Structure 1
Amino acid sequence: MRKYLGGRTPEEWLGAILMTIVVALLGFQVVARFGMGRSYSWLEEVSRFAFVWSVYFGFVIAAEADRHIRVSLHLELLPPKARLVMLTLADLIWLVFNAVVIWHGYWFTMSMFEFPYISQTTGINLVWVQMIVPIGFTFMSVRILQVMIKRWRTGQGPADARMGE
């Protein structure tokens, strides 16, 4: 699939597109406000929604690249097999946390269909914004599992360029 996406993952493309939308909308808002003396309240709200979604896709990108924040000094002191076991244990704990967030996020978004919370300026149901929580954590969990499998196949630890300094 990457060959059809220019060597990038779908999450990278979606994150880049959403950040482009954020910059374009906020740039237009600045020009409209200071150049034309007009203000569009919906622009700021839509850009905020796009920014939230792009941040979640950023989480997925970091998980796919095995680049999430972690304390790695103690990992350097371990033998390679113990390092793999520790990283796997940490990732399993992370997956449990993700499962809890997915579960509660799912039921929260389902309740927003039943009891809608409508945005003041755009008039949309905010369930479409909140839906990124279970979706993002599901995508992140898939990427974590892929990294775990790759790590055990190759026998290599995290892809952290700062390790070994």
Structure 2
Amino acid sequence: MSERTPQATDSGRTVNRTSKLAQALNENLERYLLLSFYVYIIAIIGIEVFRRFVLNNASLWGEETARYMFIYLTWIGASWGVNERLHIRIDILHQYVSERVTGLLYILGDIVTFAFVVVAIRWTIPQIQTQLQFGAVTEALRVDMIYFQVAVPIGMTLLGVRVLQALYRDVQDVRAGRPVYKGEELFS
């Protein structure tokens, strides 16, 4: 019977907890962020409607922050859609080709999407650099616009990570002769 030292047990637990946390974030990061942004947007818009129509005194910051949260929500939602394969696609073509060809089509789609991500990040970086140089601020909050303009490269980077994960999964499935993950059926 071998005895474990307390350090080894603690280290094992830490690694186990860390890997579980990493796995939970990998599976649900976008969901957590999307839920947070949705709750914020709904709460702020609800408060602003109440303020405008009941108190007759709306704020500028509420509408502005809800608008900027919506921008983050959109880009993070795109990443989630890629991860779950919920993006728009033409499924009818897959009925007429083999599973291998379907897998190759998904791989091609992953490559094209990743190329789009690279181009989008490349085109937004100069705009962000200009923003840093001149330092424009938002109308109501008077907060530096950079916090909201980085939503595109942040969202695109997250989307790129998800596309690379999908590409890896698809290549492994095609090599093994398994059907690729097609996501949920969008329309029945």
Q: Fold conserved (TM > 0.5)? A: yes
Q: Structure 1, unaligned stretches of length 5 or more?
A: none
**Is 1:153 matched up with 2:172?**
yes
Q: 1:131 aligns with which of 129, 141, 150?
A: 150
Q: Which contiguous aligned blocks of 4+ residues in structure 1 show a shift greater than 3 angstroms?
A: 2-5
**With structure 2 as the length reference, what TM-score do the two structures score?**
0.79
**Is 1:77 matched up with 2:96?**
yes
CA distance in 2, matches of 1:156, 1:116: 50
Tell me the CA shift for residue 45 of structure 1.
0.5
**With structure 1 as the length reference, what TM-score do the two structures score?**
0.90
Change (3 A) 1:3 1:144: closer
8 Å CA contact retained: 1:109, 1:130: yes
Q: Percent identity?
A: 20
CA distance in 1, matches of 2:165, 2:69: 27
How many residue pairs align between the two structures? Answer: 163
Q: How does 1:24-103 map to 2 (within 5 A)?
A: 24-103=43-122
**Is 1:118 matched up with 2:116?**
no
Change (3 A) 1:101 1:56: same
8 Å CA contact retained: 1:26, 1:47: yes
Point out the more displaced range, 148-157 or 49-58. 148-157
Q: 1:17 aligns with which of 26, 36, 51?
A: 36
The higher radius of gyration belongs to 2
Task: Tell me the amino acid that sits aligned with residue 31 of structure 1.
Answer: F
Task: Tell me the amino acid that sits aligned with residue 156 of structure 1.
Answer: P
CA distance in 1, matches of 2:100, 2:45: 49
Change (3 A) 1:119 1:72: same
RMSD of the alignment, in Å? 2.0
Deviations 1:20-58 (A, max 9, x none): 111111100111111222111111001111111111111
Change (3 A) 1:58 1:145: same
2:81 aligned counterpart, secondary structure = helix
8 Å CA contact retained: 2:31, 2:80: yes
CA distance in 1, matches of 2:185, 2:58: 45
